[in-house]
Structure 1
Amino acid sequence: MAAKSANLYARIEPDVKEQAESILSALGIPASNAINMFYKQIILNRGLPFEVKIPTARPADVSELSEAELNAELEKGYADMTAGRAKPARQAFADIRKDYGI
Structure 2
Amino acid sequence: MLSPEKSKISISVKVNSEDKNQVTEIFNGLGLNLSTAINIFIKKSIAEGGLPFEVRDPFYSEENQAELNQRFKKINNNQDIHSHHLLSSEQKKE
Say which one has the larger Rg: 2
TM-score range, shorter chain: 0.5 to 0.7
TM-score, with structure 2 as normaliser: 0.56
Task: Determine the structure 2 residue equivalent to 1:22.
Answer: 25
Equivalent in 9, 12, 19 of residue 9 of structure 1: 12
Task: Determine the structure 1 residue equivalent to 2:46.
Answer: 43
Amino acid at match of 2:39: N
Runs (4+) of structure 1 exceeding 3 A deviation are none
Amino acid at match of 1:33: T
Percentage of pairs with the same residue: 34
Between the aligned partners of 2:10 and 2:42, the Cα distance in structure 1 is 13
Q: Give the number of equivalent residue pairs.
A: 58
Between the aligned partners of 1:38 and 1:50, the Cα distance in structure 2 is 10
CA deviation vs aligned residue, 1:49-101 (integer Å, no higher than 9, x gap): 000111125x9xxxxxxxxxxxxxxxxxxxxxxxxxxxxxxxxxxxxxxxxxx
Give the match's secondary structure for 1:21. helix
Between the aligned partners of 1:41 and 1:12, the Cα distance in structure 2 is 21
Give the match's secondary structure for 2:26. helix
Between the aligned partners of 2:27 and 2:57, the Cα distance in structure 1 is 26
Q: CA deviation at 1:2?
A: 1.8
- Root-mean-square deviation (CA, aligned residues, Å) is 1.8
Amino acid at match of 2:49: R
TM-score, with structure 1 as normaliser: 0.52
